[in-house]
């Protein structure tokens, strides 16, 4: 990307930026998209290294590498980093690059706020990772931060709360930007029901973020004041209730997981339609299904708390509501399969990841269905079954969709085709090892292994060993992706404007690589 | 680029975000309202039981439990045996609290009920819950609870647990 | 950040692990656990069926509708009746799933008419069981030796799932569990009995189980509660009614005997060697998790006892700390859990081990500082 955009076209109003200042001060959606991706990649390496340490400790029973309190820091930071430092920024990178291009807008509605939204993140990242070296170590109460355990931590806990505020502000500002752009800056003729599904999914995600990130901000502020300023929100001694935190947190937390997957649905829809050479099946239902998932997501938070002692009526309500969300989600899966049906399919790397997504994300969906059943959840809550579930939807789901999107749009961004051979190696190594890593965790949870433990009873040893081996291969395979991306940036076969046969959409009407400024005049949309 | 339109939209979205921040905090009192409406774990207001007719046809066992968080400083004990009561019957039990330390201490007890649905039927006429207790060094006090389990309690509820957790207040040494 | 001791991986490799490869929930030992098992099987089969159908269709398309075999794309992109069908049918399937589950939820919550009630309190990092009717109360802590965890000794068959004092209940009786916590949120879970509930400080929550078979059932804490979360197991021993009554009687008698012995021991004077031997055992059971086998503690978290000023200084401050704990820290008060003789022994051990130069302590010294 840099090779072609190092000398961007001069803009009437200011001289072309260059060097470090270009990146620090950029108000260009393509540059900012690039920044988000590099940040996500860096955090991915850090969070991934933590995962490798976790799997190395869990390779055998006994404590070999780290003491339990360090292990708890690793699991907590791994979660916070992957969610807030990798998946969300990567999807925001896609939004920045693709939304203006897909709707025929010259840039985002608020280019300068766009810059601030990004630069808050590296500061937050430094706080999170740096807190490992503070007295007492980093936050270690799980990414869910439940009190009263959270009250026992040292200074890094307060720093983490601050980091979460920064990341929340970044997401809220970014979402206001994205939503305003989509609502107000579409090219004439691009009606809402004509937008690519990816734009729809980001519009709905932006609304979810605006609605729930402030609630997280409230929850962690209450933790902060309970810790430091004498309030008793979550302290029974003062008339408060530790479970109150869980309610407020999961009111944010459940929509958050849909925030982590809706853009994925959008990317996968783009990829599957292109490589099936067929329009998306049931576009309108896809839009309604996405909207219903978003609305229903506000009604199901209690399913993270089934064992907390809530009355049966509440358990039943949350169970029924959770099962209901399966319906629109199923509709989407059927629509993707119907798009492939009777298409003319080819399997370049983006399509490989998209097909794997449909299959493996569904497995994650099924384990979610199992967990939704309250009586079964009583056995499986806080076990490795839950770990299996959310890693299937987040790794083979969200992460694989990010990979699909990268392989799909890199030609547009860099002007070079991606090396298919390397891409295929990356795909097959990842797809096989990720299942070796996470599938056994279903069995571990069923057999009775709790989560967030550095050491376990002997009957869990075999599957843990298998999972760790899968984990090491999976971790190593991601180095391939880095190589693929670097090679693609630096050179490769020239990519056409319409880099993929069958690709539809405004982004494929501009040259590859996309010029620094595109759609300065709105395009014609029929 | 329609800057007025953009500004208006972004203002609305910012207001939405501010409203949701306030909503997060509002959840705290809102849960109290929800619990009042459903009677869950609600400390039934200390009120005179207006129905004193005793239902002699059945008994409910009231288990009494005491928990103390700072066992070094306090001894907090429930009566050693549960009481069997008729719904509608006025009952008094006494908890015992002792300050084990050499200095005056302040503390407070927080009640809890199991099952949750029993809370709405536990009418406490006189109770020491949430009231600050100040004890001199090595002082022991008996804390009475005067209550009525009202007749509306479900027929199949045969055992109800009343639990108090006692917390020390003030600066921790 | 402090990494743990480096122990050669080879020590772990030769471990005779109890190979299990278990694929499903454990064999149920209560009716609720059996119903959970069946509901899970039902959901699993339904999901498997849907998976095979949907992905059968998809793999067929991946195979037959490839461009490379010359398949041309057909341009349809909606079909209302099909879409209605595949919305309604999943909805009906979900209703069918929810029906048996609803019944089970109501039964799991029905704590009425118990045969006995046990108050369970979660601590960092052990459980306390208080038999409300029997007047018996005791701590149940992990009994897995620290050297097994540190890979310096072969791991026992019940590694991390064994305790010093299990909960004992009679078979076939409805046991009501009243759950609370002393510090942070824990969760009490026994998979074979199908029971799990969070332990929340300041609140009491109830649940129940009825064991169908005599046996020993093991579980673990199921809510992250700090560094010892993995090391606070639960063991429930289910006995016949007669054996349970015998156990209860023995416990009550033991309580008396312990009280008597404590009084007797408190009057005795022990030699330093005897104190150290006994103290070493008490230390291994109660102190090693935080203060470590070498007495060096965990910097930033648990103070070192080796070379500590308090431990090497006047005995009164040391005794006071162990008896009464330290407010606002993780150091619990041990005055309820250990009698004067055990306390004197462990304090003596700490004062004389690891190169410490403190003096031994007698039970009478401990007794006088009790409050």
Q: Backbone phi, then psi, for C122, in 5-degree steps?
A: -90, 135
Q: Are A57 and A471 in contact (CB under 8 A)?
A: no
Q: Are C297 and C305 in contact (CB under 8 A)?
A: yes
Residues B108 and B129 both lie in one domain: yes
What is the Cα–Cα distance from A276 to C369, expressed in whole angstroms? Answer: 81
Percentage above 90 pLDDT, chain A = 93
Q: Is C315 part of a structural domain of the chain?
A: yes
Q: Is C83 part of a structural domain of the chain?
A: yes
Q: What is the pLDDT of residues A216-234, one digit of tens each?
A: 999 999 999 999 999 999 9
What is the Cα–Cα distance from A524 to A504, expressed in whole angstroms? Answer: 15
Residues of C whose CB is below 8 A from A317: none
Give mean pLDDT, residues B115-135.
83
Residues B59 and B34 both lie in one domain: no
Is residue B37 very low, low, confident or very high in pLDDT (cuts 50, 70, 90)?
A: confident
| Residue in A69, A65, A243, A153 with CA at minimum distance from that of residue C229 | A69
In angstroms, what is the C-alpha Rg of chain C?
28
Burial of A488: CB neighbours in 10 Å, binned 0-12, 13-18, 19+: buried
Does residue B173 register a pLDDT over 80?
no
Mark out chain B residues that contact chain C at CB-CB < 8 A: 41, 63, 65, 67, 69-73, 80, 82, 100-102, 110, 112-116, 156-159, 161, 163, 165, 167, 172-173
- Residue C99: which CATH number? 1.10.287.90
Give mean pLDDT, residues C154-160.
94
Residue with tokens 């041309």: C72
Residues B27 and B63 both lie in one domain: no
Give mean pLDDT, residues C30-45.
96
- Print the domain residue range for B18: 1-38
Q: Are C319 and C343 in contact (CB under 8 A)?
A: yes
Residues C335 and C305 both lie in one domain: yes
What is the Cα–Cα distance from A189 to A205, expressed in whole angstroms? Answer: 23
Residues B32 and B48 both lie in one domain: no
What is the Cα–Cα distance from B102 to A40, expressed in whole angstroms? Answer: 57
Residues of C whose CB is below 8 A from B66: none
Does residue A158 register a pLDDT over 90?
yes
CA–chain centroid gap for C88, Å, is 44
Q: Backbone phi, then psi, for C169, in 5-degree steps?
A: -135, 160
Q: Is C2 part of a structural domain of the chain?
A: no
Does residue A93 register a pLDDT over 80?
yes
Residues B96 and B159 both lie in one domain: yes
Does residue C4 register a pLDDT over 60?
no
Residues C177 and C208 both lie in one domain: yes
Q: What's the confidence (pLDDT) of residue C328? A: 60
Interface contacts A/B by beta carbons within 8 Å: 87
What is the Cα–Cα distance from C86 to A403, expressed in whole angstroms? Answer: 29
Give mean pLDDT, residues A269-295.
96
Q: Is C335 part of a structural domain of the chain?
A: yes
Q: What is the pLDDT of residues A415-439, one digit of tens each?
A: 999 999 999 999 999 999 999 999 9
Are the Cβ atoms of A463 and C21 closer than 8 angstroms? yes
Q: Provide the angle, in degrees to the nearest 10, between the axes of the packed helices A400-414 and A262-276.
A: 60
Q: Are A275 and A502 in contact (CB under 8 A)?
A: yes
Give mean pLDDT, residues A461-473.
97
- Residue B167: which CATH number? 2.60.370.10
Q: What's the confidence (pLDDT) of residue B170? A: 64
Give mean pLDDT, residues A95-114.
97
Is residue B41 very low, low, confident or very high in pLDDT (cuts 50, 70, 90)?
A: low
Q: What's the confidence (pLDDT) of residue A331? A: 94
Q: Is C240 part of a structural domain of the chain?
A: yes
Final residue before a domain boundary, out of C108, C129, C157:
C108
Residues C142 and C224 both lie in one domain: yes
Residues C197 and C232 both lie in one domain: yes
Residues C139 and C187 both lie in one domain: yes
Number of helices (H), then strands (E), belonging to chain C: the values are 11, 10
- Residue C341: which CATH number? 1.10.760.10
Are the Cβ atoms of A311 and C109 closer than 8 angstroms? yes
- Taking 3-state DSSP, the helix, strand and coil percentages for chain A, each rounded to the nearest 5, stand at 75, 0, 25
Q: Is C25 part of a structural domain of the chain?
A: no
Residue with tokens 């039934």: B44
Does residue C5 register a pLDDT over 50?
no
Does residue B165 register a pLDDT over 80?
yes
Residues of B whose CB is below 8 A from A236: 110, 165, 167
Give mean pLDDT, residues C198-212.
95
Residue with tokens 């849909």: A258
Q: What's the confidence (pLDDT) of residue C340? A: 85
Compute the mean pLDDT over every residue in chain C, rounded to the nearest whole number.
88
Residues B34 and B80 both lie in one domain: no
The C-alpha of B36 sits at a distance from chain C's nearest C-alpha, in angstroms, of 17
Residues B128 and B115 both lie in one domain: yes
Q: What's the confidence (pLDDT) of residue A11? A: 47
Residues of A whose CB is below 8 A from B68: none
- Print the domain residue range for C90: 31-69+76-108
Of B102, B112, B115, the CB nearest to C203: B112
Q: What is the pLDDT of residues C60-90, one digit of tens each?
A: 999 999 999 999 999 888 888 999 999 999 9
Residues B114 and B80 both lie in one domain: yes
Q: B76 forms bridges with which residues in the sheet?
A: B97
Is residue A148 very low, low, confident or very high in pLDDT (cuts 50, 70, 90)?
A: very high
Is residue C9 very low, low, confident or very high in pLDDT (cuts 50, 70, 90)?
A: very low
* Counted domains in chain C: 3
Helix/strand/coil (H/E/C) assignment for every residue in A150-210: HHHCCHHHHHHHHHHHHHHHHHHHHHHHHHHHHHHCCCCCCCHHHCCHHHHHHHHHHHHHH
Does residue C53 register a pLDDT over 80?
yes
Residues C237 and C359 both lie in one domain: no
Q: What's the confidence (pLDDT) of residue C341? A: 87
Is residue C255 very low, low, confident or very high in pLDDT (cuts 50, 70, 90)?
A: confident
* Counted domains in chain B: 2
Is residue C371 very low, low, confident or very high in pLDDT (cuts 50, 70, 90)?
A: low
Q: What's the confidence (pLDDT) of residue B39? A: 67
Q: What's the confidence (pLDDT) of residue A238? A: 86
Residues C231 and C145 both lie in one domain: yes
Compute the mean pLDDT over every residue in chain B, rounded to the nearest whole number.
83
Are the Cβ atoms of C202 and B167 closer than 8 angstroms? yes
C199 or B79, which is more confident: C199
Q: What's the confidence (pLDDT) of residue B47? A: 43
Q: What is the pLDDT of residues A37-50, one digit of tens each?
A: 999 999 999 999 99
| Residue in C300, C12, C357 with CA at minimum distance from that of residue C150 | C12
Give mean pLDDT, residues C136-145.
92
Does residue A13 register a pLDDT over 50?
no
What is the Cα–Cα distance from A148 to C225, expressed in whole angstroms? Answer: 9
Residues B25 and B56 both lie in one domain: no
Of C21, C149, C223, the CB nearest to A382: C223
Q: Is C20 part of a structural domain of the chain?
A: no
Of B72, B157, B165, the CB nearest to C333: B72
Write out the two tokens for A71: 């292990």
Q: Are C182 and C125 in contact (CB under 8 A)?
A: no
Residues B77 and B93 both lie in one domain: yes
Does residue A463 register a pLDDT over 90?
yes
- Of A210-219, A317-326, B55-64, B122-131, which gets the smallest average pLDDT? B122-131
Residues C86 and C213 both lie in one domain: no
Are the Cβ atoms of C112 and B110 closer than 8 angstroms? no
Residues of A whose CB is below 8 A from B27: 215, 218, 244, 247-248, 251
Are the Cβ atoms of C371 and B71 closer than 8 angstroms? no
Residues C161 and C87 both lie in one domain: no
> E strand or H helix at B68, and its extent?
strand B60-68
Residues B156 and B124 both lie in one domain: yes
Residues C154 and C254 both lie in one domain: yes
Q: What's the confidence (pLDDT) of residue A7? A: 44
Q: Is C6 part of a structural domain of the chain?
A: no
Mutation target to probe the C interface, by most C beta carbons within 10 A, among A237, A281, A307 is A307
- Of A326-335, B29-38, C4-13, C272-281, which gets the smallest average pLDDT? C4-13
Does residue C327 register a pLDDT over 70?
no
Between β-strands C174-181 and C167-170, what pairing exists: parallel, antiparallel or unpaired?
A: unpaired
Give mean pLDDT, residues A459-480.
97
Is residue C339 very low, low, confident or very high in pLDDT (cuts 50, 70, 90)?
A: confident
Compute the mean pLDDT over every residue in chain A, rounded to the nearest whole number.
95
Burial of C14: CB neighbours in 10 Å, binned 0-12, 13-18, 19+: exposed
Residues C178 and C301 both lie in one domain: no
Is residue A16 very low, low, confident or very high in pLDDT (cuts 50, 70, 90)?
A: low
Residues B74 and B132 both lie in one domain: yes
Write out the two tokens for B151: 């007749």
Does residue C146 register a pLDDT over 90?
no
Give mean pLDDT, residues A138-147.
96
Q: What's the confidence (pLDDT) of residue A471? A: 98
Is residue A375 very low, low, confident or very high in pLDDT (cuts 50, 70, 90)?
A: very high
Cα distances (angstroms) measured from residue C278 to each of A397, C66, C285: 56, 77, 11
Residues C37 and C121 both lie in one domain: no
């Amino acid at each position: 990307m840099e090779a072609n955009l190092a000398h961007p076209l001069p803009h009437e109003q200011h001289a072309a930026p260059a060097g470090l200042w270009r990146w620090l001060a950029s108000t260009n959606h393509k540059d900012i998209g690039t920044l988000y991706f590099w940040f996500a990649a860096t955090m991915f390496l850090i969070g991934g290294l933590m995962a490798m340490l976790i799997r190395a400790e869990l390779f055998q029973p006994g404590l070999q590498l780290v003491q339990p309190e360090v292990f708890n820091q690793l699991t907590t930071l791994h979660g916070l980093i992957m969610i807030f430092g990798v998946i969300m920024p990567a999807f925001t990178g896609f939004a920045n690059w693709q939304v203006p291009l897909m709707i025929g807008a010259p840039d985002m509605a608020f280019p300068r706020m766009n810059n601030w939204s990004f630069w808050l993140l590296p500061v937050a990242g430094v706080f999170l990772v740096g807190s490992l070296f503070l007295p007492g170590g980093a936050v270690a109460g799980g990414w869910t931060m439940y009190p009263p355990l959270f009250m026992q931590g040292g200074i890094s806990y307060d720093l983490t709360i601050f980091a979460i505020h920064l990341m929340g502000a970044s997401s809220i500002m970014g979402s206001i930007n994205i939503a305003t752009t989509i609502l107000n800056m579409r090219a004439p003729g691009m009606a809402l029901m004509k937008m690519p599904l990816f734009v729809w999914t980001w519009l709905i995600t932006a609304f979810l973020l605006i609605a729930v990130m402030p609630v997280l901000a409230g929850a962690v502020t209450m933790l902060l004041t309970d810790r430091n300023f004498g309030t008793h929100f979550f302290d029974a001694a003062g008339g408060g209730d530790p479970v109150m935190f869980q309610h407020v947190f999961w009111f944010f937390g459940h929509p958050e997981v849909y925030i982590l997957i809706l853009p994925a649905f959008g990317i996968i829809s783009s990829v599957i339609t292109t490589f099936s050479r067929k329009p998306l099946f049931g576009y309108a239902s896809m839009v309604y299904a996405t909207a219903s998932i978003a609305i229903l997501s506000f009604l199901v938070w209690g399913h993270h708390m089934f064992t907390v002692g809530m009355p049966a009526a509440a358990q039943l309500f949350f169970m029924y509501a959770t099962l209901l969300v399966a319906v629109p989600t199923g509709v989407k899966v059927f629509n993707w399969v119907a798009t492939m049906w009777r298409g003319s399919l080819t399997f370049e790397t983006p399509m490989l990841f998209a097909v794997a997504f449909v299959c493996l994300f569904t497995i994650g969906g099924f384990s979610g269905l199992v967990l939704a059943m309250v009586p079964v959840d009583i056995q499986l809550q806080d076990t490795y079954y839950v770990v299996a579930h959310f890693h299937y939807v987040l790794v083979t789901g969200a992460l694989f969709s990010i990979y699909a999107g990268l392989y799909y749009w890199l030609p547009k961004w860099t002007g070079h085709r991606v090396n298919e051979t390397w891409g295929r190696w990356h795909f097959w190594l990842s797809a096989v090892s990720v299942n070796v890593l996470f599938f056994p965790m279903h069995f571990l949870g069923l057999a009775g292994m709790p989560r967030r433990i550095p050491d376990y009873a002997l009957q869990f040893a075999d599957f843990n060993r298998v999972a760790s081996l899968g984990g090491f291969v999976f971790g190593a395979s991601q180095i391939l992706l880095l190589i693929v991306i670097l090679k693609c940036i630096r050179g490769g076969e020239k990519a056409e404007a319409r880099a993929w046969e069958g690709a539809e959409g405004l982004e494929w009407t501009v040259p590859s690589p996309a010029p620094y400024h595109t759609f300065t005049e709105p395009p014609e949309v029929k | 680029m329609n800057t007025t339109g953009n500004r208006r939209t972004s203002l609305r979205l910012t207001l939405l975000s501010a409203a949701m921040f306030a909503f997060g905090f509002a959840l705290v009192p809102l849960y109290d309202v929800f619990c009042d409406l459903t009677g869950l774990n609600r400390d039934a207001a200390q009120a005179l039981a207006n129905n004193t007719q005793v239902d002699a046809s059945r008994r409910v066992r009231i288990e009494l439990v005491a928990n103390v968080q700072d066992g070094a400083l306090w001894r907090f004990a429930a009566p050693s045996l549960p009481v069997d009561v008729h719904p509608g019957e006025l009952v008094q039990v006494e908890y015992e609290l002792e300050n084990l330390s050499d200095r005056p201490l302040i503390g407070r007890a927080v009640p809890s009920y199991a099952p949750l649905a029993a809370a709405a039927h536990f009418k406490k006429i006189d109770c020491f819950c949430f009231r600050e207790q100040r004890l001199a060094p090595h002082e022991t006090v008996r804390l009475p609870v005067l209550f009525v389990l009202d007749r509306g309690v479900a027929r199949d509820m045969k055992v109800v647990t009343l639990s108090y957790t006692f917390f020390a207040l003030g600066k921790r040494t | 950040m402090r990494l743990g001791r480096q122990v050669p991986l080879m020590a772990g490799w030769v471990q005779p692990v109890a190979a299990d490869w278990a694929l499903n929930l454990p064999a149920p030992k209560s009716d609720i656990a059996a119903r959970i098992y069946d509901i899970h099987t039902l959901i699993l089969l339904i999901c498997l069926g849907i998976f095979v159908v949907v992905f059968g269709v998809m793999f067929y398309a991946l195979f037959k509708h490839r461009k490379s075999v010359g398949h041309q794309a057909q341009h349809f992109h909606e079909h209302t009746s099909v879409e209605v069908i595949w919305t309604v049918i999943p909805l009906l399937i979900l209703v069918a799933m929810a029906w048996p589950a609803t019944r089970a939820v109501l039964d799991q919550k029905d704590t009425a008419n118990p045969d006995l009630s046990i108050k369970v309190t979660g601590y960092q990092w052990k459980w306390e069981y208080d038999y409300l009717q029997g007047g018996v109360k005791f701590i149940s802590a992990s009994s897995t030796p620290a050297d097994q965890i540190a890979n310096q000794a072969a791991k026992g068959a019940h590694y991390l799932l064994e305790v010093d004092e299990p909960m004992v209940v009679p078979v076939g009786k409805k046991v009501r569990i009243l759950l609370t916590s002393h510090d942070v949120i824990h969760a009490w879970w026994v998979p074979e009995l199908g029971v799990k509930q969070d332990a929340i400080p300041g609140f009491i929550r109830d649940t129940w189980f009825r064991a169908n078979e005599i046996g020993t059932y093991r579980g673990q804490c199921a809510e992250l509660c700090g560094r010892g979360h993995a090391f606070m197991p639960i063991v429930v021993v289910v006995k016949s009614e007669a054996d349970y009554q015998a156990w209860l009687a023995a416990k009550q008698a033991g309580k008396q005997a312990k009280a008597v012995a404590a009084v007797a021991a408190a009057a005795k004077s022990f030699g330093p060697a005897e104190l150290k031997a006994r103290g070493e055992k008490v230390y291994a059971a109660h102190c090693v998790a935080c203060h470590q086998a070498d007495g060096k503690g965990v910097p930033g978290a648990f103070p070192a006892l080796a070379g500590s000023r308090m431990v090497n200084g006047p005995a009164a401050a040391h005794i006071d700390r162990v008896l009464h704990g330290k407010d606002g820290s993780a150091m619990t008060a041990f005055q309820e859990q250990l009698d004067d003789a055990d306390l004197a022994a462990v304090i003596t051990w700490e004062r004389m081990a690891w190169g410490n130069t403190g003096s031994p302590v007698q039970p009478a010294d401990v007794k006088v500082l009790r409050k």
